[in-house]
Amino acid sequence: MKDQKEEDRRLGWLLKTYGVQTASTVSTQRLKESVVAAYGATQTTKISSGSPCPWVARAIAFIFLLWMISFVYFLWPISIKREVAISVLSFILGLWTVILWLRRSQQIIFLQ
Amino acid sequence: MALHDGREQEDFLLEGAVRGERACLEALVERHQNMAFMVAMKVVRNREDAEEVVQDSFMRAFGALHKFTREARFSTWLYRIVYNTALTNIAGRKMNLVDVCEQQEDLPELSVKELSSDLLNIEDQRKFVQLALAKLERDDALVITLHYIGEKNIAEICEILTLSKSAVKMRLLRGRKQLQEMLEGILKKETRNLL
Which of B 8-67 lie inside 8 A of A, CB atoms?
17-22, 25-26, 29-30, 33-34, 37-38, 41, 47, 50-51, 54-55, 58-59, 62-63, 65-66
Apex A52 CA angle, A50 and A56, nearest 5: 135
Q: How far is A111 from chain B (nearest CA, A)?
A: 6
Measured in degrees and rounded to the nearest 5, phi and psi for residue B120 equal -80, 125
pLDDT digits (tens, 9 = 90+) for B71-84: 888 999 999 999 99
Please enumerate residues of A whose Cβ is less than 8 A from a Cβ of B.
7-8, 10-16, 18-24, 27-28, 30-32, 34-36, 38-44, 46-47, 110-112
Query: What is the reported pLDDT for A108?
Result: 53
> Residue A39 and residue B55: Cβ atoms within 8 Å?
no
d(CA B169, CA B157): 10
Higher pLDDT, A80 or B107: A80
Average pLDDT, integer, range B143-159: 92
pLDDT digits (tens, 9 = 90+) for B47-106: 899 999 999 999 999 888 888 888 888 999 999 999 999 999 888 775 555 454 444 444
Q: Is the pLDDT of residue B124 over 80?
A: no
Query: What is the reported pLDDT for B86?
Result: 92
pTM above 0.80, yes or no: no
d(CA B55, CA B58): 5
CB nearest to B37's CB, from A12, A22, A35: A22
> Residue A10 and residue B191: Cβ atoms within 8 Å?
yes
The interface predicted TM-score of the complex, written ipTM, equals: 0.73
Q: What pLDDT tens digit does each residue of chain A (112 aa) get? A: 567 778 888 888 888 888 888 888 888 888 888 888 888 755 444 444 455 567 888 888 889 889 888 887 787 766 667 777 788 888 989 999 998 888 777 655 544 4
Q: How far is A99 from chain B (nearest CA, A)?
A: 22
Phi-psi region of B76 (alpha: psi -120 to 50; beta: other; left: phi over 0): alpha
Query: What is the reported pLDDT for B156?
Result: 93
Cβ contact B125:B159 at 8 Å: no
> Residue A27 and residue B41: Cβ atoms within 8 Å?
no
**Confidence class for position B38, pLDDT limits 50, 70, 90:** very high
Residue of B nearest to A107 (CA): B20
**Confidence class for position B158, pLDDT limits 50, 70, 90:** very high
Q: How far is B87 from chain A (nearest CA, A)?
A: 19
**Confidence class for position B147, pLDDT limits 50, 70, 90:** very high
Cβ contact B133:B149 at 8 Å: no
